[in-house]
Amino acid sequence: MAYVSIDERYLIRVEIEDNQVEIIQREYQKKDKDTKKPTGEIGMLYSQMGYIYLGKQVIECKLGMQKDQPPYPAGMYLLHPATLKVDGFGGLDFGFDTILIPISEAKAK
């Protein structure tokens, strides 16, 4: 098997700082899928804050999380390809749940 050396600077990196190791819960009003009108039900969204490195830009962003998922520890991560989805128009989009790979683990493989 051939190994390819890829510079991390060209991959999507995410950094979690010590003060960002927590899950943020937010309520939202659920809507009917057909009519788009509120159903009266309350839903919950779960996220964690982090910094995404996009070339020379570093931007604070929300990372979508599962209900019972523990927060990612502080550190540097790569964005897992399963986080990306194809939308209804065939375009590339981020899925709701963010999957991160610790950079130390990615280097070991």
The CATH superfamily assigned to 8-108 is: Nucleic acid-binding proteins (2.40.50.140)
β-pair type (100-102, 75-79): antiparallel
The whole-number pLDDT of residue 27 equals: 95
| Residue 109 Cα distances to 10, 55, 61, angstroms | 18, 24, 27
The whole-number pLDDT of residue 52 equals: 95
| 57 beta partners | 54
Tens of pLDDT along 43-58?
Answer: 999 999 999 998 889 9
Dist. CA 48–CA 22, nearest whole Å: 6
What is the value of pTM for the model shown?
0.78
Dist. CA 49–CA 46, nearest whole Å: 10
Tens of pLDDT along 65-103?
Answer: 999 999 999 999 999 999 999 999 999 998 888 999 999
